[in-house]
Amino acid sequence: MRSARVGIEAKSLDAGPIKSSERFPKRALGLTKMLSGFVRAAKTSDISDGTMTSVAVEGEEVLIACVGGKYYAIHNKCSHQGGGLDQGELLADRCEVMCPLHDACFDLRSGEPTAEPARIPVKVYAVRVVGDDILLGPAGS
Ligand code: FES
């Protein structure tokens, strides 16, 4: 499913301690160097189950997708040649997104490429939902 841009500018937010269930795979830890803390990025009402959108967070474009009621966030630029992943296809049954330019696929949970031509993972962001707010933070937090 294709997405619509929402044009949300994130705001800083101290969201408190992180639950252990929000941890991400160790390989993704070194991939994200932005976001020193959690920032409000979108509303849950902006992204219904089985859809995705992009938001601007501290100067970076982030793709947020909702699969099975859970939210995932990865960098919105394909690691192959920079295709906008939000313009691609959400493959909800595999929890992946397909790039619109050359059909590379990325796992939304890990950022790992699952289909060529991309071979380099994309950044993964930690996601928290507080009320109706979707917060993004650095991977591994
Ligand atoms: S730019 Fe995404 S597959 Fe080429």
Q: What is the 3-state secondary structure (H, E, C) of 37-106?
A: CCEEEEEHHHCCCCCEEEEEECCEEEEEEEECCEEEEEECECCCCCCEHHHCEEEHHHCEEECCCCCCEE
What whole-number distance in Å separates Cα of residue 11 and Cα of residue 68? 26
> Model's pTM, two decimal places?
0.77
118 lines ligand 1 (CB under 6 A): yes
Is 128 within 8 Å of 138 (Cβ atoms)? Answer: no
Q: Where are the domains of the chain?
A: 11-138
Specify the residue with its C-alpha closest to ligand 1, atom 3.
102
pLDDT in tens, 67-121: 999 999 999 999 999 999 999 999 999 999 999 999 999 999 999 999 999 999 9
Please report the atom of ligand 1 found closest to the CA of residue 83.
1
User: Of 78, 89, 98, which is best to mutate to test ligand 1, by the most ligand atoms within 8 angstroms of its C-beta?
Assistant: 78
At 14, the pLDDT band (50, 70, 90 cuts) reads very low
- Range with lowest mean pLDDT among 8-12, 56-60, 128-132: 8-12
Q: Which CATH class is domain 11-138?
A: mainly beta
At 60, the pLDDT band (50, 70, 90 cuts) reads confident
Tokens of 107: 């796992």
Note the pLDDT of residue 34. 56
What whole-number distance in Å separates Cα of residue 139 and Cα of residue 122? 11
With a cut of 70, say whether residue 5 has pLDDT above it: no
With a cut of 60, say whether residue 47 has pLDDT above it: yes
Rounded distance from Cα 69 to ligand 1 centre (Å): 27
